[in-house]
Structure 1
Amino acid sequence: MTSWKLRTRSATASPSNARTQTKRRKIQEQDEFQCVEGEFPSPRVQSALMLHAIRQPYELSTDHEVPVVQHNHELLLKVNAVGLNPIDWKGPDYNFGIPTFPFISGREMVGTVIEAAKARNSRIHKGDIVIVPSTDYRDFRKAVFQQYSIASTFNTIRLPQNTPVNSGSILGVAFVSAVLALGICMGVSFGSIESGPDLLDIVRNIDPETLPSDIRQECLKGVEESERAKAGDWVIIWGGSSTCAHVTKQLARLAGLRIISVADSAKHGLRLSSTSEIRPDLLVDSHNPERAVEIIKAATSDGARFGFDTQGKETAGYLLRSLHSFNSPMSALADSSVKGPRHKESKLPTPPATPLENISRAPRSHLVGLTGLPKTDIPEGVSLHSVPIKLFHEIPEVGEALCAWCERLLVKGLLVPPDVVGIVDGLEGINGGLDRMRRREVRGGRLVAVLP
């Protein structure tokens, strides 16, 4: 049986109370681990990183309660490796994504299932090593800056033998974000790629009332059937060196899209150009954004119809200008009625107005912002989108489809995780790792915290 270090209270033993102390120690051990020979332990307390205030470092608590399974589809996992994300330091520094204090962060990990779900026909079983993208940040049980975490079976990806644990721990959130951006906001169908999901078909064939109200419009009306991205279309990824871009480019290429990647060529150009999995069709230097817009418009004959920004509101504004835009039929008619020539002398009868419903509207362009979108100067014919991340953890049909597909892609080698560019030691090392990220010392991949 695996040897586990137990936390026990100190006591002074004497010949007269030795038997009592031994009995008491056994009771403590059973209460903390409740384990029997040949089984995984079920601890009662654990170590966890807690955030108690804005702009403060996380503090290590060594007596935090282990989260408890509450639903038949939930698993209890021992956390093995944690991927560090920008949100883990930006949230505390800028006070967003933190519902209450004390707060437990951590959005993705690889762990071992020590308590399997009670639901039947689950892909996941006790002892499995799994990838967990933990997108439900309001449920602290599912946060991963702790030794044990809860996950839903439909949000869990079995780790294939050909994928290292550390690499798997930085894949999940980027994968979920990329699939939802492409599949929901741009309408890409992955049905021809290892039986992948058609997400628009899934969400538009379930009860609309089951969709969260704040993303319902995005799911049902965000992109029309005639506007869906298809093989041969251009997609611009601004912030092409990010981890999310790393995954998005791979999935876009599998779907047959042509890729323009906007990134700092001096820092990332060699890596992006020499790595076949993420090499774009066109790499544009981001150093001069105005020039980048000109290059994109020239290369795509006046702009592409699809764009994905991974950086923020400012770069999303430049990306917006890189997209093809047009005046809607209604605006064109209005403009012509006001600005067009007035033939007062003409004796010809005025032709009847063309019904608006008979005017064929050109397909809109679509801009997806991962962390921010422009607020003003939105041209006609461009639709703005935010990634509906809630779909993954609130709609089981979506979560299951994404996780099962990710497993198949990893097994076939069709999806390559981002690079691990550094390791930190346990929960204790996470603050130091986040400081490195604050100082912009981490490039071309992610840091991983490895837990004992």
Structure 2
Amino acid sequence: MLAQSLPGGHASFTPEKQRQLLLHEAKQPYQVESERDVPKARQGELLVKVLAVGLNPIDWKSAQYGFGIPSLPCINGRELVGRVVSRDQSQRPDIEIGDAILSICTDYRDFRKSAFQEYAIATDFNAIKLPPQIDYAHAASIGVAFVAAALSLGICFGVTFPIANKDETLDLLEVAKSQGRDKIPQDTVEEVFNSIDPWNRPHAGEWILIYGASSITAQIAIQLARWAHLRVIAVVDLDKHEERLRTLGADKLIDRKDLSAAASQIRTEIKAPIRFALDTIGPDTALWCHDLLASRTGIQCRPSLRHSASGTWAMGAVSSLPHLICLTGAPKVEESNVRLHSVPIKLFHEHEGVGRVLSGWLRDLLDSGELRLPETLFERGGLDVIGRSLERLRRGEVSGKRLVVRFEDL
């Protein structure tokens, strides 16, 4: 057993071995295995005992279809709430042994940080210390969605966000640019430095279309967009999700059951330009969003528009094209008068400035209660019930809600 001193002379004992939920092959069920090593914290890291994990669609899709798996056996799980048991290597004096934190595991290649195990590593500048008034397990529902929504709007679209109770705004794009082109991951340079010109950023009162608006990422994006004084068109199954999305502040709700009728309704009821759209579903729905944006702009595909090696459209610094974020797959288009974006999610864990700012902002939002957390379903049983819980997601039984698995009573 490894001993760690606690404030007041107490000690926390961390075992050398633990249980993990492993994926040995794609299309095979996860397996719980014992006698696995407890990871060791390095400089700038925390070791936490996992208390609850939030389940995301990627957790079953990667296992089913074999993508997003850097090596086998694989440990999945993108977000967890845990209690800190070791901070010897941490640079966070505000986090002490015994504190509950939210850890958002965007660094899926480092299995030490994955959620589907009893003990996990958290990067200290990404760790979000949870306020005592929040239900800790409920906090496991929000991390990945918040990071994806904030980077989508803040980096790809260049939205600036007002900070509650402060006379200032948060400009994530400028934070990302602050380290320079050679200091950020090379596959994020295009999004950070060429995604949008300053004069083409969204302005107050402008419309943004969100397809798949019941997803948790979309629910967060609606709130962020409204705080930035944007107007939101939400395309969704109204029978299931109308009440929730009205509560979140969507300005215009469009039923997705008949997409031809939906497009006609948007053209009829919204005369102002629509330059921004976010799709959370997949390539087919992203294509619908693309065509809607393309039909509402007079800008034509420029001769200088070229498809870059990273799979995005590289335009240089003079583009005024409409913009589409594709969270789960881009449409296949030969030429386009729409700028296609993929979210540079790795900025959260590889760019300390971005990671620290986002984590601090989410901490403040949880503390103030300003951010509405998603409706959440809870399962008890820890690693032993994750497999069947992911099956519920795969079968589509959980819509517009997050499923969280508790490891122990909180």
What TM-score comes out, normalization by structure 1 length? 0.82
Q: Secondary structure at the match of 1:423?
A: strand
- Give the structure 2 partner of residue 246 of structure 1: 219
Evaluate the alpha carbon distance shift between residue 185 and residue 329 of structure 1 in structure 2; reply closer, same or farther with a 3 A threshold. closer
The answer on 1:367 being equivalent to 2:324 is yes
Shift of 1:144: 0.6
Evaluate the alpha carbon distance shift between residue 34 and residue 204 of structure 1 in structure 2; reply closer, same or farther with a 3 A threshold. closer
Shift of 1:119: 4.5
Q: Secondary structure at the match of 1:183?
A: helix
- Give the structure 2 partner of residue 100 of structure 1: 71
Shift of 1:297: 2.5
- Aligned residues of 1:196 and 1:405 also touching (Cα < 8 A): no
Shift of 1:192: 4.3
- Aligned residues of 2:106 and 2:345 also touching (Cα < 8 A): yes
Q: Secondary structure at the match of 1:268?
A: helix
- CA separation in 1, counterparts of 2:327 and 2:301? 30
- CA separation in 2, counterparts of 1:251 and 1:78? 31
Q: Secondary structure at the match of 2:150?
A: helix
Out of 186, 193, 200, which is 1:213 matched to?
186
- CA separation in 1, counterparts of 2:109 and 2:263? 38
- Aligned residues of 2:197 and 2:319 also touching (Cα < 8 A): no
Greater shift after overlay, 120-129 or 382-391? 120-129
**Residue type of the alignment partner of 1:78:** K
**Residue type of the alignment partner of 1:50:** L
- CA separation in 2, counterparts of 1:35 and 1:127? 11
What TM-score comes out, normalization by structure 2 length? 0.90
- CA separation in 2, counterparts of 1:373 and 1:298? 27
- Aligned residues of 1:312 and 1:371 also touching (Cα < 8 A): yes
- Give the structure 1 partner of residue 382 of structure 2: 426
**Residue type of the alignment partner of 1:363:** S
- What pairs up with 1:33-432 in 2 under 5 angstroms? 33-34=2-3, 38-71=10-43, 73-120=44-91, 122-193=93-164, 194=166, 195=168, 197-273=170-246, 275=247, 278-301=248-271, 303-323=273-293, 324-328=296-300, 363-376=320-333, 378-380=335-337, 382-432=338-388
- CA separation in 2, counterparts of 1:120 and 1:437? 37
- Aligned residues of 1:122 and 1:153 also touching (Cα < 8 A): no
Deviation string, structure 1 residues 58-97 (Cα, Å, up to 9, x no partner) = 10011110011122x1000011000011111000101100
- CA separation in 2, counterparts of 1:64 and 1:449? 21
Greater shift after overlay, 280-289 or 186-195? 186-195
Evaluate the alpha carbon distance shift between residue 377 and residue 293 of structure 1 in structure 2; reply closer, same or farther with a 3 A threshold. farther
Shift of 1:197: 2.7
Deviation string, structure 1 residues 22-63 (Cα, Å, up to 9, x no partner) = xxxxxxxxxx34467711212210111000011111100111
- CA separation in 2, counterparts of 1:387 and 1:317? 17
Evaluate the alpha carbon distance shift between residue 151 and residue 35 of structure 1 in structure 2; reply closer, same or farther with a 3 A threshold. closer
Larger radius of gyration: 1
Which 5+ residue runs of structure 1 have no aligned equivalent? 1-31, 332-360
Which 5+ residue runs of structure 2 have no aligned equivalent? 304-317
**Residue type of the alignment partner of 1:394:** E
Shift of 1:299: 2.9
**Residue type of the alignment partner of 1:301:** K
The answer on 1:442 being equivalent to 2:398 is yes
Greater shift after overlay, 230-239 or 186-195? 186-195
Evaluate the alpha carbon distance shift between residue 304 and residue 78 of structure 1 in structure 2; reply closer, same or farther with a 3 A threshold. same
Evaluate the alpha carbon distance shift between residue 39 and residue 301 of structure 1 in structure 2; reply closer, same or farther with a 3 A threshold. same
**Residue type of the alignment partner of 1:57:** P
**Residue type of the alignment partner of 2:178:** N
- Aligned residues of 2:162 and 2:228 also touching (Cα < 8 A): no
Q: How many residues align?
A: 388
What is the Cα-based RMSD across aligned positions, in Å? Answer: 2.0
- Aligned residues of 1:421 and 1:444 also touching (Cα < 8 A): no
Q: Secondary structure at the match of 1:319?
A: helix
- Aligned residues of 2:212 and 2:280 also touching (Cα < 8 A): yes
- Aligned residues of 1:290 and 1:318 also touching (Cα < 8 A): no
Deviation string, structure 1 residues 218-265 (Cα, Å, up to 9, x no partner) = 111111111111221111110011111111111111111101100011
- Aligned residues of 1:79 and 1:451 also touching (Cα < 8 A): yes
- CA separation in 2, counterparts of 1:123 and 1:259? 37
- CA separation in 2, counterparts of 1:254 and 1:329? 32
- CA separation in 1, counterparts of 2:92 and 2:138? 28
- Aligned residues of 2:55 and 2:405 also touching (Cα < 8 A): yes
Query: What percentage of residue pairs aligned between the two structures are identical?
Result: 41
- Aligned residues of 2:4 and 2:85 also touching (Cα < 8 A): no
- Aligned residues of 1:424 and 1:433 also touching (Cα < 8 A): no
